[in-house]
Amino acid sequence: MRRDLLRPRHWLPAGLLLCAVLLGGCQKDPTWKLGTPAPQITLFDKQDASVKLSAYQGDVVVLRFWSSGCKDCVAGMPALDRYAQKYRSRGVTVIAVNMGESREVVQKFVGAMNLRYPVLRDPELIAAKKYRVTSVPSTFFIDRKGAARLMVPGEVSQQVFEKAVDALL
């Protein structure tokens, strides 16, 4: 057995996601579903300042939950950055929500990937619980009025991204 697999950095993201799934019932809104107002959440930026999702009302918001331990999440970040830049002038805001990792880990990741869209943190997995995230990546498309219209589990192709965003513009 490889000893490096026993280090917390290998199992911590998966363990945090498992805890969110198992304990998620504690903070879920049982009435929330797609087509209704998206759950209001507060996330944290790279300086640990709080950022409310409601600050983006009026924009189409693409909210992507991810973890640095998820290979598909990491592989999809550059494409998401391209989509964010392409649609920014049309009132689309892409937000990547890191699930449960430290500020240092997220800052290092964002710097290495040279991402230009907001990457926020959900350190206590409260937002993930409210959105009923059970796998990463998971991407929510929220209309200008604040209603979540679509959830895409797994990686989002350019075709799916463009079709979903165009329908909300």
> What's the total number of domains in the chain?
1
Residue 119 tokens, joined: 């990457």
Instruction: Give residue for tokens 């970040």.
Output: 77
Instruction: Write the pLDDT tens digit of every residue in 3-50.
Output: 544 555 555 555 544 444 444 444 445 567 999 999 999 999 989 999
CA dihedral 40, 64, 57, 129 (to 10 degrees): -10
Instruction: Write the pLDDT tens digit of every residue in 108-158.
Output: 999 999 999 999 999 999 999 999 999 999 999 999 999 999 999 999 999
Q: Any bridge partners for residue 60, and if so which?
A: 92
Domain that holds residue 58: 3-168
Task: Give residue 67's Cα distance to chain centre.
Answer: 9
Q: How far is CA 90 from CA 38, 56, 58, 99, 109, in A?
A: 21, 13, 11, 28, 27
CATH at 88: 3.40.30.10
Instruction: Write the pLDDT tens digit of every residue in 59-95.
Output: 999 999 999 999 999 999 999 999 999 999 999 999 9
Distance CA 7, CA 2 (A): 10
